[in-house]
Amino acid sequence: MSVERCHPIQQDSPDHNPAGKFDDEGYPAYSMGHAAEILGVTQAFLRSLDAAELLTPGRSEGGHRRYSRYQLRLAARARELIDQGTALDSACRIIILEDQLAEARRINTELQHTHRPKPDRPGPVSG
């Protein structure tokens, strides 16, 4: 059920570049306490999103949960839906469907740009 796009950078990876982590929205940079503070939620709320399988936070070497900017956006959306009266399970399902729709739209746009007819070739005949 998770919509994770988090790919922690491995120590031996050629992409292990501290400057690249600033732009990587999937990098698990935020501790649970810091994530909760940023979002204005409790740590228990973040644990509930993990239990509901909306988020699967990374883990530090000491086993502590670490959240990415992408995960913080999902958690903020969950908080918004729950504050509006949506049940946790329903909020998680809505977020997953929203994420899938956004990804499908991104792919559709990409395919439209890569598969346009060339100007010198006639396009499909409509009628």
Q: Would you state the pLDDT for residue 24?
A: 83
How much is the mean pLDDT over the chain?
Answer: 84
Instruction: Give 35-82 pLDDT, tens digit per residue.
Output: 999 999 999 999 999 999 999 999 999 999 999 999 999 999 999 999
Closest CA to 71 of 108, 107, 24: 24
Q: Which residues contact 87 (CB under 8 A, 6 or more apart)?
A: none
Comparing 18 with 12, which gets the higher pLDDT? Answer: 18
107 has pLDDT over 60: yes
Dihedrals phi, psi of 17, to nearest 5 degrees: -130, 115
More confidently predicted of 1 and 69: 69
